[in-house]
Amino acid sequence: MPVRVVTDSVADLPPQVVEELGITIIPLNVRFGEEVYRDGIDLTNEQFYQRLTTSKILPVTSVPSPGTFAEAYDKLAEETDEILAIILSSKLSGTYEVARQSIGLMKRKCRVEVVDSQCAVMAEGFLVIAAARAARAGASLDELLGIVRGNIPRVDMRAAFDTLEYLRRGGRIGAAQAFLGSALRIHPIITMKDGVVEPAGRARSRAKAIDHLYRFAAGYSHLEEMAVEEAACPDDADLLVERLSTKFPKERIYRSKTTPVIGTHTGPGLLLVAVMGDK
Amino acid sequence: MKQVNAISGQDLREMFVAATGWLEKSSAEIDALNVFPVPDGDCGTNMLLTMRSTMEEAYRAPDRSVSAVSQAMAKGALMGARGNSGVILSQILRGLAQSFAEKESFTAVDLVNGLQQSVTMAYKGLSNPVEGTMLTVIKDVAAAVQAQVSSDGGDLISVMESAVNAAGESVANTPMLLQVLREAGVVDAGGQGLYVILDGALRYLRGEMEQMRFRKPQIIVSEIHATKLPQMIAADEVPYGYCTEFLLKGEKVKTDKIRSKLEKKGESLIVVGDESAVRIHIHTLDPGEVISYAASLGTLHQMSIRNMDEQHQDYLEMQKDRAPAVDMAIITVASGDGLADVFNSLGTSAIVPGGQTMNPSTKDLLQAVESVPSDKVIILPNNKNIVATANQVQSLTEKTIEVVPAETIPQGVAALLAFDYEANLSTNVQIMKKAMSGVKSIEITRATRSTKIGELKIKKKQPIGLLDGDLIATGKNNADVLDQMLAKLDLDKVEVITIYYGADTKSAEAEEISSRIREQHPQLQIEVVRGDQPHYNYIVSIE
């Protein structure tokens, strides 16, 4: 019985990958006022960004309930003896804690290990994909833990923001707050380091910001995975994919939209590139 | 005095319904306290939503035994837990339910056991339990309840009183235990929420339902004042005008009507109450308007108006003084409040006033170098005539000095923007020099005397234009000069034009010039910034 892999909706995994590799996704929640939606399930990306820009109430996000995790674990436990959950940075969200606590609520007996990915979006997604593939190939849970931990330093990302306002509102801005309050219009570039948001650069124009993302990914000597994600700016993403296709096969670049939970903290206009590889 | 020796399942449910209503009244304030573990300002709302789910499920209990009701509540909390605080709350309720299993009603001794179990569950749930949070509060409550029962016996009202008192003290003490609270000058939000829930339950037991309708839970105030604002500030803490709160007493007051009337007057509107008394809470820019409207409906009581922008301004001031967290400092030379703001906002540690015709002395620069807390200092002179002065500073200080020889304000800004937080000093100097070379600078000023340079005949006081320091254009007015100069540049490769207008220049003129350029070159990003610089009517950066 292969190990089953669980992750959260923030990993932004494309649906076909989820299906192909049999990954279980636990949704975080997005809340507008007192209306609660499950990330990517009750609210599509299109509906969400439409609402984000028109709604008077700003959305907030919350962790999945322990019951959601426990139910999912129990369901998988019918088919396997070992479960691996790879969860977004514990410094950005309490989801990691909930995923761990929920083990105690399981009705079935099954070994569950939870790993803090120290990242989010497809950088987290790559860890999940690599683990799910290895699990299919017959790797044990202990072997998978080694694989994930070995891959954590090999994933990285850069994100160009239109505004840091949403990140600030949501309280996840970290050291990137040095970019706030600029008297000039700048396009901030953000990365994640040790699980927290960090500033990576600032550009005076959107074109320069996109160029920054390109140079970041193109600077790798060896690339295994690449993803370009966007929040309501598909044209910019197309442009970036086109440029990156000289460095990495275009058909292997995952192209996705960030989920509502990520969108809540970034706002529209986010463009990011995530990679797994060696510099 | 009223005594209660046992509580039935039905009473347990009603007790927590009252507690949920009580929590609802202060959930927004609890949101505002929220700085730990993630300051996302929704702790109160999350606890409230968790309690609502808890109580919905409580009504689905198969019978009215305390066992069935508490089990149902634990299930509702578990499935509906929102946020970190909601999750801990659900653990607490699970603890109670485990202890109340098989029981028709519960006594003080059962409560003691239940709370002990809650503490165990809550701590067990977290891989890294942090003191100074809800965890500490529930632990203190459990200890106090145990002490009360062993000394005074089984009256549940006295027991709950001791629980609420202990919770209040424990919440007030949270800043002593958790640094992030101490720095923000707040108590723990989750702990406060727990206090309010216990207090609501106690008030129900005392039969104070009527009074609860018109009162609000007490928010425990930290006695410690914020030493620094939380590194990350939460959404609901972003102030907006005046927080205006009061009680309106009248006859046949219609809450719906008040709500719809006030909805457009501000944000975070709360209108609660009945025909004779209504509590109104709103964040508004014009409290006068709200108050005169309300006064036309009845009498006003418990009036409170707080300026929330004051706090926000303090925050912005602190932002301003905050240099990027690096071991390197950057010192720039600039004149004019607007330019100073620009450099400050981009992470300059110190600004030395100076520029054209007002070159600072080596001593001025040295003082600035000594004043910053870093041992490595980069100087941006931003003027040709100041570069040499800046180069002398190194011989006068033990600190390591690098001069990035920006000769204009646009070069200085470009260099500063390129500063890399992670790179070392020498790499940064390289990056900054490179960025500096990618920008063109136009300066427009007045001729100090009549002269002739090459083909250009210049009259005294006539507008003249310099491109990277070379006089290349003159004209009848500023716009004319700028047009001529832009015509000489290849704007196809340009992305951003920033126009800093001077102290003697009207913003309307600057806007007019920029909208004309925008019309002619729609692909460009054009930004007009008040520079307040003396001497130059315009400084234009072309990137």
CATH of the domain at B310: 3.30.70
Is residue B195 within 8 A of residue B167, CB to CB? The reply is yes
Number of domains into which chain A is organized: 2
Q: Which two tokens stand for residue B235?
A: 């959404």
The verdict on a CB contact (< 8 Å) between B40 and A92 is no
- Say whether the peptide bond before residue B37 is cis (omega within 30 degrees of 0): yes
Residues B53 and B198 in one domain: yes
pLDDT of residue B226: 56
DSSP letter assigned to residue B82? -
User: What separation in angstroms does the CA of B78 have from each of A276, B34, B53, B71?
Assistant: 37, 22, 9, 10
Mean of the pLDDT values across residues A31-52? 85
**Coil, strand or helix at B381:** coil
Average pLDDT over residues A56-72: 89
Answer yes or no: do A184 and B125 touch at CB < 8 A.
no
Q: What backbone torsions phi and psi does residue B148 show, to the nearest 5 degrees?
A: -65, -45
Distance CA A274, CA A155 (A): 7
Nearest to B69, CA basis, from B54, B79, B80, B81: B54
Last residue of a domain, one of B320, B348, B367: B320
Q: Which of A269, A271, A273, A263 is nearest to A44 (CA)?
A: A263
Q: Which two tokens stand for residue A99?
A: 């995923």
Quick check: is B24 in a domain? yes
Is residue B531 within 8 angstroms of chain A, CB to CB?
no
Q: Rounded to an integer, what distance in angstroms lies between the CA atom of residue B316 and that of residue B309?
A: 10
CA dist B223 and B211 (Å) reads 28
Residue B109 exposed, middle or buried by CB count within 10 Å (0-12, 13-18, 19+): middle
Q: Say if CB B170 and CB B140 are below 8 A apart.
A: yes
Give the integer Cα–Cα distance in Å for B359 and B356: 7
Does residue B231 sit within a domain? no
Q: Tell me which chain A residue has its CA closest to the CA of residue B84.
A: A94
Same domain, A136 and A166: no
Interchain contact, A207 vs B232, CB within 8 Å: no
Q: What is the DSSP string of B175-238?
A: HHH-HHHHHHT---HHHHHHHHHHHHHHHHHTT-HHHHHT--PPPPPPSSPPSS--SS--GGGS
User: How many domains does chain B fold into?
Assistant: 4
State the DSSP H helix or E strand holding residue B496, giving kind and residue range, or none if neither: strand B496-501
Q: Do B339 and B309 fall into the same domain?
A: no
Q: Mutating which of B43, B71, B82 best tests the A interface, going by the most A Cβ atoms within 10 A? A: B82
B454 lies in a domain? Answer: yes
Q: Give the residue among B298, B246, B302 at the shortest CA–CA distance from B270.
A: B246
A38 touches chain B (CB under 8 A): no
DSSP state of B265: G
* B266 near A CB under 8 A: no
SS3 B325: coil
By CA distance, what is B531's nearest residue in A? A183
Interface of B with A in 396-455 (CB under 8 A): 413-414, 417, 420-421
Bridge partners, residue B368, by sequence? none
Q: How far apart are CA B400 and CA B374, in angstroms?
A: 9
CB contact under 8 A, A184 and B495: no
Tokens of B340: 């100073």
| Amino acid, res. B503 | A
Query: Which CATH number characterizes residue A215's domain?
Result: 3.30.1180.10
Burial class of residue B299 (count of CB atoms within 10 Å of its CB; 0-12, 13-18, 19+): exposed
User: DSSP states of B88-145 as a string?
Assistant: HHHHHHHHHHHHHTT-SEE-HHHHHHHHHHHHHHHHHH-SS--SSSHHHHHHHHHHHH
Give the domain extent around A244: 154-278
In a domain, B225, yes or no: no
A36 and A110, same domain (yes or no): yes
Query: Would the CB atoms of A201 and B420 count as touching at under 8 Å?
Result: yes
Q: Kindly tell me the number of DSSP H helices and DSSP E strands found in chain A.
A: 10, 13
Instruction: Find the DSSP H helices in B218-357.
Output: 255-262, 287-295, 308-321, 337-345
* Chain centroid, CA B227 distance in Å: 15
In terms of residue numbers, what domain contains B335? 323-437
Measure CB to CB from residue A34 to each of B49, B231, B344 and give the nearest one: B49
Q: CA B325 to CA B378: how far, in whole Å?
A: 15
| Residue B421 sits in the same domain as residue B462 | no
What stretch of H or E contains A122?
Answer: helix A121-136
Write the pLDDT tens digit of every residue in A103-148.
Answer: 988 999 999 999 999 999 999 999 999 999 999 999 999 999 999 9
Whether residue A216 is found in the same domain as residue A251:
yes
d(CA B84, CA B88): 6
Cα–Cα distance for residue pair B86/B34, rounded to 1 Å = 13
Rounded to whole angstroms, the Cα distance separating A20 from A254 reads: 15
Q: What is d(CA A208, CA A191) in angstroms, rounded to the nearest whole number?
A: 16
Count Cβ atoms below 10 Å from residue B59 Cβ, excluding itself: 12
Give me the DSSP letters along B498-520: EEEE-TTS-HHHHHHHHHHHHHH
Are the beta carbons of A60 and B40 separated by less than 8 Å?
yes
> Residues of A numbered 56-85 whose beta carbons fall under 8 angstroms of chain B's beta carbons: which are they?
58, 60-63, 65-68
Q: Are residues B294 and B265 both part of a single domain?
A: yes
Q: Per the domain annotation, does B81 fall within a domain?
A: yes
Q: Does A2 touch chain B (CB under 8 A)?
A: no
Are B304 and B383 in the same domain? no
B410 with B538, same domain? no
Instruction: Please tell me the predicted confidence (pLDDT) of residue A149.
Output: 95
Does B133 contact chain A (CB < 8 Å)?
no
Q: What is the pLDDT of residue B238?
A: 42
Do A25 and A63 have their domain in common? yes
β-pair partners for A160 = A189, A271
Written as six digits, the tokens of A157 are: 């990302």
Contact B111/B156 with Cβ under 8 angstroms? yes
Total Cβ atoms within 10 A of residue B421: 18
Mean pLDDT (chain A) is: 90
Which residues lie across from A276 on neighbouring strands? A155, A225
**Inter-chain residue contact B87 with A67, CB threshold 8 Å:** no
Q: Residue B38: its pLDDT value, please?
A: 60
* Residues B102 and B196 reside in one and the same domain: yes
Same domain membership, residue B290 and residue B278: yes
Whether residue B118 sits in one domain with residue B172:
yes
Would you give the DSSP letter of residue B264?
G
Whichever domain contains B506, its CATH number is 3.30.1180
Task: Examine the domain organization and report whether B351 and B292 are in the same domain.
Answer: no
User: ipTM more than 0.90?
Assistant: no
Low-confidence spans in chain B with pLDDT less than 70: 1, 35-41, 125-128, 223-240, 268-274, 277-279, 302, 308-326
Q: What is the CATH number of the domain that holds A13?
A: 3.40.50.10170
Q: What is the reported pLDDT for A110?
A: 92
Q: Which domain-ending residue is among A152, A171, A203?
A: A152
**Calpha distance B47→B333 (Å, rounded):** 52
* A173 reaches B (C-beta below 8 A): yes
Name, of A76-80, A161-165, B323-327, the range with top average pLDDT.
A76-80
> Which amino acid would we find at residue B332?
T
Residue in chain A closest to B53 (alpha carbons) equals A65
Q: Exposed/middle/buried for B6, CB within 10 Å: 0-12, 13-18, 19+? A: middle
B284/B196 same-domain check: no
Say which DSSP state B539 is in.
E
Q: From B74, which residue of chain A is nearest by alpha-carbon distance? A: A67
Statement to judge: residues B63 and B125 lie in one domain? yes
Q: What is the SS3 assignment for B28?
A: helix
